[in-house]
Structure 1
Amino acid sequence: MHPISRRRLLGAAAGAGALTLSGAGRIAAAAAAGAPAPAGSATAHRWVGSGTFDPVHDPSLPGRRRYLNDHTLIKAGGRWHLFGIVGDSAAPGESPDSAAEDSFHHASAPGPRGPWTVHPDALTVDPAYFGEEHLWAPHVIEADGRYWMFYAAGGRDGAAINCATSTDLTTWTRLPSGPLFRGLVARDPMVLRAGGEWLMYCTELSGPGGRHVVSCRRSADLVHWSEPGTVYADESTDATVSVTESPFVVERDGWYYLFVGPRNGYDGTDVFASRDPFRFTVDQYAGHVPGHAVEVVADGQHWYASAAGWFHRGLYLAPLRWEDAPPPWQSADNPVAALDVAGRLTVFALDAGDRSLLRRVQLDPASDTWSPWERFGGPAGAVPTLGRNTDSRLEVFSLAPGGAHLHHRAQRPDGGWHDWEVFGGPAGAAPAVGVGAGGRLEAFALAPGGTGIARRRQSAPGSTAWEGWDGAFGGPAGAPPVVGANADGRLEVFALAPGRSAIHHRWQEAPDGPWSAWSRFGTAAGGAPRVTRDGSGRLTAVAIGPSGLGTFHRRQTVPSGGWDDWHQLFGWTAASPALVSGGDGRLETFALSPGGERLRHRWQLTPGGAFDPGGDFGEPGARLAAAPSAAVDATGRIHVLAVTTSGRVRVRVQDRPGGGWRPWASFGDRAIAPLPSGSPAY
């Protein structure tokens, strides 16, 4: 096998009523159940998520910025030890040369949060040792009175999993017998003791040109390993990017939890739960952690998720959460904004402290003066979504904490607001809202855990009354749905399949008419798309590819017609870019690089036309927590709103419709919740 870089591996093979959701009209069929539960085990798995990731260790040197990637943590002798891939960082938004990853960083600390003391590198690549070419993904365990480090080492004779041992976690000696085994692209080993034997999980291919899988081998002595068996397979049969990286398995209360990624962009890890450590399926989804190469550690009663990656400065740590119910999902925009009945741009967000709903109003578009942030309701479980009636009155849709139910609040014609009302529930996210051809608002809500999508619409345009929920509209889905309106008024709904194996869509066959069946709209994707209509009347969809390796767009050939092919729009992207139609009808799009340090900007040369090559969008002044949101005020100028990791909102505004841009500026002094789009809304 020829040498291959990790970058190529990531892109290898190239009335109020209750909201009820049934399994009818499924986007993808559910798979079979797992093995019987061990005696005394919990009858239902827990749902997994995390708190905020905080930086705890930076391996950079004076004048030399460095990153950590796949890593391992182990506690020994009262101290925690960290081993991991280390390398020189690339420019923001660019990936480093993974073929140059040739040593393992080593540091130790009294606790997972540090302070960390750096030691000499634990291991350096040795080409004389059976053709080692790189050092990737160490995993360290203690057994038989010594420490064992398993790692991926490459090689001309096939990807190799090697092993070194130590008695002090400082001096390491490779096994003289050579690689434990070789595989097609075997890497990212993780070893677990279960059922009286050792299990090693690795990322692999099912065969030449096959699917990306998590494989498992068994051993009695940590040296001799069985042939591999597939324990999890990527659902996409035509995926060109690996999303079975960094597998990690933990056992809790008779359930095994598989952490694997990258999912929902580069910085994302999905969790699947099974009673059988040799079988995980996409229908066993059990949560999401917004980090790359996630490892799980426990210190007494506390569980942590650690993360690291190319686009970050070292090691990050977050509390790992085990919940009884599925966490709700954050929708695409944070904050969210639209014009109200008086033509004033109105912005909604969640307070960083108590998660109360906040509102800020543009008092004068000409001078761009704003009201202070004011409490609007809450607390809420996610940033709300907005609908705008045909008479321009706004309607706000909010999710209760924990997804217990939905609320909505409608604006009055005089600009005031009606009281909050229960809108349905429970739900997995705030609903997507569109306006049909007849002027009625329609809401599309995700069920808890993504088990289905339900639809509900106003009884009449602008009415405060709504019809009941259609719980069989679709599902399951891997993210909240997205809705767009065709030029002829027909609504079109887009949904991500479970496991992110594809994007599907469904549309009205006539204005306010019946709906088509679900149809495949795109292959494997990293997240739900964003969809907007430009000044030519055509819809455009943008979506990130698996792992966030690239961003792609697809547009209608004619207004309300079919669709062109997918075309690349950006390179590495953290989440689906913001997409907005400016006052001159041209689409403008804003993409955040993984790591949150760089925004790129592209725009159509004419409404419905090709995109300019674009470029950097200026320095927002701090690292961003999520992709920006964008809205147009009454003058036709675009406002780009971005939330920093500290919860501060930054804004950049056009000088004039279709024109240049003012510098970045602060947007109020209130800290809002820095929620990554598409992630569980903890």
Structure 2
Amino acid sequence: MSPISRRSVLRGVAGAGTLPLLGLSPAVAAPTGDAPAPSWVGTGPFAYVHDPSTPAGPRYLNDHTLIRARGRWHVFGIVGDSAPRGEAPDSSAEISFAHASAPSPLGPWTAHADALTVDPSYFGEEHLWAPHVIEADGTFWMFYAAGGASGAAVNLATSTDLFTWTRVPSGPLFRGLAARDPMVLRVGDEWVMYYTELSGPGGHHVVAHRRSADLTHWSEPGVAFTDASTDATVSVTESPYVVRRDGWYYLFIGPRGGYEGTDVLASRDPFRFELAGYAGHVAGHAVEVIDDAGTWYASAAGWFRNGLFLAPLQWRDTPVPWQSPDHPVAGLDVHGRLTLFALDAADRSMLRRVQLDPYGDGWSEWEPFGGPAGAVPSLGRDTDGRLEVFSIAPAGTHLNRRVQRPDGGWHDWEGFGGPAGAAPAVARDAAGRLEVFALSPGGASFARRRQRSPGALAWDPWEPGFGPTAGAPPVVAANADGRLEVFALAPGGAGIVHRWQETPGGPWTPAWHPYGTAAGSAPRVAEDGSGRLAVAAIGPSGVGTFTRRQTAPSGGWDAWLPMFGWSAAAPASAANADGRLEAFSLAPGGARLSHRWQLAPGGDWGPEREFGEPGVRLVATPTAVRDPAGRLHVFAVTAAGRIRTRVQERPSGGWLPWTSFGERAVAPLVSHAPAL
């Protein structure tokens, strides 16, 4: 179930007692012996396979279930009318389950009549959420979340043909504080139900479990996973789904890494999962996993998309690299010209395009820049204006670097060593030396490396262990006094931490310090015209963007303030010629792009306004950069893999219409893992 508008469920939490979540002992022993190490989990690209819309208008699917029976695949799921672009619907209006079937998970899907509709006379049902269907003893069992004034409930309906469903006359299987999103798995000689729950009023979000011998009578709850945050309004333990493979159990939960994100945790024990067992990420909402005769798929849906998506699920020996949230990336080269770098759609090799006139709008054609690259690159600029480009080697074993020459040409690519979990964060310190901060695969830690002198080709050795285990690549910025400051997302999005140089170019604080509460993805940091840094981050699940800025240049920090509504990631920011920051935020699903701007350098923000194009869906937060003439340029990649651009008509002024930025197809899959 999606994380907002569970108002009918959460209404009763304030007056309820603490849920008696029990630490039950496992019914089966954890695998022993020579079981292999857990796999890392990722996906290929998602394909759009089913549209549940009707002639009356577009509809979405949310939490859903897939089952193969009698030679066909069936999908059942929450269904509702799609909301306006970039907005979330009211989940209290979700009162029926859509049903469709197909010969293959990839389709073609045939829509059927809704499988079940809410029945208020049945123990106070007010909504229908998150069906899960299994087959046992010739009967199909549908477990689903319902409830209302009487509290959250997990209900059961059965069928012999998957078309006609009958609720069991005894009523809910059990009630809870926020019990929803049931999923049932056979473990040993019993059935185990996983579901999302609260540990108590205002407590932690958990994945709870119960056990049964007959699918009708269920034990008291135990806890399979506890989230670190205690915010009872937004859950990030939704849609739990557990898969057993090669002696390991894999728990898929979300929304994590934004609304359209699901983390995977591995454990030998099906009743205990921890963040230390992080095993990958799938860029989808309400992810389910199916095995179609040895071919694995991940399915996804959600409020911001019209239907069902499917991607090949990958069981890997190495982690999937994090990708930059920006695509393309842009910076000024040694001649002061805007230069863009993107990944080619055909083979993910790197492409480059250069502004021909620093004060005009003419551009070169796209030209090969090397690769294939393991990730969208990151850029640094030396004191003499030369660009340095950093990316992951194709095999993901190390970083690569390519440096511009003073004449505008380029040295060859060279190995740069270091951990290669993502393209590194790059900044220039007070002495003019570039410093990079590189994440290890899987986020185990991150390291730091610095140029020996400004603009030098030689670098000091890597400093491993500079940063702790992280939930995303770090970001870095220079304070007004030149001191670098690094911000990182804690594992699982439990909070933001930061560390800074104590003096310009000098030593770093010995410890990392808390900077913010739970966040949904990596933060971003920018400097405005007043010399103050401003940090932006999305809340858990992406339900809102918040910003925090320095009280004075190089000083302390104000409180967090709201900035945007639903957001796929922290917004991109760039400073106007007059120093006012302008920020751009993409809604989950990419249908709406919004922007806000400071009314004065370092001042308050104006109202949120529409900035995108109706009918054009984007796949990543756009890139914003200022050219030598002082005009901001915005570059965005569409779902079709084409770049669109919008440019200010004059420095710090209004905006010209969107235009095409060439017909070259660039890779649209640029999120943490391949995006929908």
Category of TM-score, reference length = shorter chain: over 0.9
> In 1, are the aligned partners of 2:45 and 2:675 still within 8 Å (CA)?
no
Measure how far apart 1:616 and its partner are: 0.2
Measure how far apart 1:9 and its partner are: 3.9
Measure how far apart 1:620 and its partner are: 6.6
How far apart are the structure 1 equivalents of 2:665 and 2:586? 21
**2:568 aligned to which of 574, 580, 589:** 574
How far apart are the structure 2 equivalents of 1:63 and 1:402? 49
Q: How does 1:54-73 map to 2 (within 5 A)?
A: 54-73=47-66
- Deviations along 1:301-326, whole A, 9 cap, x unmatched? 21111111111011111111110011
Q: How does 1:94-113 map to 2 (within 5 A)?
A: 94-113=87-106
- Deviations along 1:561-591, whole A, 9 cap, x unmatched? 0010000000101111111112221100001
Classify the secondary structure of the residue corresponding to 1:572.
Answer: coil
Q: Which has the higher contact order (CA 8 A, sep 6+)?
A: 1
How far apart are the structure 2 equivalents of 1:6 and 1:128? 26
**Which residue is 1:30 aligned to?**
none
Question: Is residue 155 of structure 2 the alignment partner of residue 142 of structure 1?
Answer: no
**Amino acid of the structure 1 residue aligned with 2:582:** E
> In 2, are the aligned partners of 1:407 and 1:423 still within 8 Å (CA)?
yes
**Amino acid of the structure 2 residue aligned with 1:275:** R
Q: How does 1:470-509 map to 2 (within 5 A)?
A: 470-509=463-502
Measure how far apart 1:626 and its partner are: 1.1
How far apart are the structure 2 equivalents of 1:41 and 1:89? 49
> In 1, are the aligned partners of 2:42 and 2:314 still within 8 Å (CA)?
yes
**Amino acid of the structure 1 residue aligned with 2:65:** T
Q: How does 1:524-603 map to 2 (within 5 A)?
A: 524-603=518-597
The 10-residue stretch of structure 1 (663-672 or 453-462) with the greater mean CA deviation from structure 2:
663-672
**Amino acid of the structure 2 residue aligned with 1:269:** T
- Deviations along 1:623-642, whole A, 9 cap, x unmatched? 11111111111111111111
**Which residue is 1:17 aligned to?**
none
**Which residue is 1:674 aligned to?**
668
**Which residue is 2:5 aligned to?**
8
How far apart are the structure 2 equivalents of 1:12 and 1:603? 37
**2:205 aligned to which of 212, 225, 228:** 212
**Which residue is 1:23 aligned to?**
none
The 10-residue stretch of structure 1 (662-671 or 483-492) with the greater mean CA deviation from structure 2:
662-671
How far apart are the structure 1 equivalents of 2:478 and 2:487? 11
> In 2, are the aligned partners of 1:12 and 1:240 still within 8 Å (CA)?
no
Cα 1:101–1:526 shift into 2, 3 Å: same
> In 2, are the aligned partners of 1:428 and 1:448 still within 8 Å (CA)?
yes
The 10-residue stretch of structure 1 (671-680 or 122-131) with the greater mean CA deviation from structure 2:
671-680
Classify the secondary structure of the residue corresponding to 1:364.
Answer: coil
How far apart are the structure 2 equivalents of 1:681 and 1:548? 15
How far apart are the structure 1 equivalents of 2:373 and 2:199? 43
Measure how far apart 1:8 and its partner are: 3.3
**Amino acid of the structure 1 residue aligned with 2:466:** F
Measure how far apart 1:478 and its partner are: 0.5
Classify the secondary structure of the residue corresponding to 1:613.
Answer: coil
Q: How does 1:260-659 map to 2 (within 5 A)?
A: 260-516=253-509, 517-619=511-613, 622-659=616-653
How far apart are the structure 2 equivalents of 1:294 and 1:41? 30
Measure how far apart 1:345 and its partner are: 0.1
**Amino acid of the structure 2 residue aligned with 1:344:** R
**Which residue is 1:193 aligned to?**
186
Measure how far apart 1:553 and its partner are: 0.5
**Amino acid of the structure 1 residue aligned with 2:356:** L
Gap runs ≥5 in structure 1: 15-34
Cα 1:319–1:577 shift into 2, 3 Å: same
> In 2, are the aligned partners of 1:137 and 1:189 still within 8 Å (CA)?
yes
Measure how far apart 1:239 and its partner are: 6.2
Measure how far apart 1:418 and its partner are: 1.1
> In 2, are the aligned partners of 1:235 and 1:282 still within 8 Å (CA)?
no
Gap runs ≥5 in structure 2: 12-27
Measure how far apart 1:679 and its partner are: 3.5
Cα 1:57–1:419 shift into 2, 3 Å: same
Q: Let me know the Cα RMSD of the aligned residues.
A: 1.8
- Deviations along 1:419-452, whole A, 9 cap, x unmatched? 1111113410010000000000000000011000
Cα 1:193–1:650 shift into 2, 3 Å: same
Measure how far apart 1:136 and its partner are: 0.3
How far apart are the structure 2 equivalents of 1:309 and 1:474? 34
Cα 1:13–1:116 shift into 2, 3 Å: closer
Question: Is residue 123 of structure 2 the alignment partner of residue 130 of structure 1?
Answer: yes
> In 2, are the aligned partners of 1:330 and 1:677 still within 8 Å (CA)?
yes
Cα 1:11–1:153 shift into 2, 3 Å: closer
Measure how far apart 1:155 and its partner are: 2.7
Equivalent pairs: percent with the same residue?
71
- Deviations along 1:345-398, whole A, 9 cap, x unmatched? 000011111111110000013330001111111111100000001111110001
> In 1, are the aligned partners of 2:321 and 2:441 still within 8 Å (CA)?
yes
> In 1, are the aligned partners of 2:9 and 2:151 still within 8 Å (CA)?
no
- Deviations along 1:233-289, whole A, 9 cap, x unmatched? 111245642100000000000000000000111100000000100000011100000
**Amino acid of the structure 2 residue aligned with 1:90:** A
Question: What TM-score, normalized to structure 2?
Answer: 0.95
Q: How does 1:217-228 map to 2 (within 5 A)?
A: 217-228=210-221
Cα 1:7–1:239 shift into 2, 3 Å: closer
Cα 1:571–1:638 shift into 2, 3 Å: same
Classify the secondary structure of the residue corresponding to 2:206.
Answer: strand
**Which residue is 1:664 aligned to?**
658
> In 1, are the aligned partners of 2:196 and 2:239 still within 8 Å (CA)?
yes
**Which residue is 1:22 aligned to?**
none
Cα 1:385–1:258 shift into 2, 3 Å: same
- Deviations along 1:579-608, whole A, 9 cap, x unmatched? 111222110000111111110010001110
- Deviations along 1:207-226, whole A, 9 cap, x unmatched? 12110000000000000000
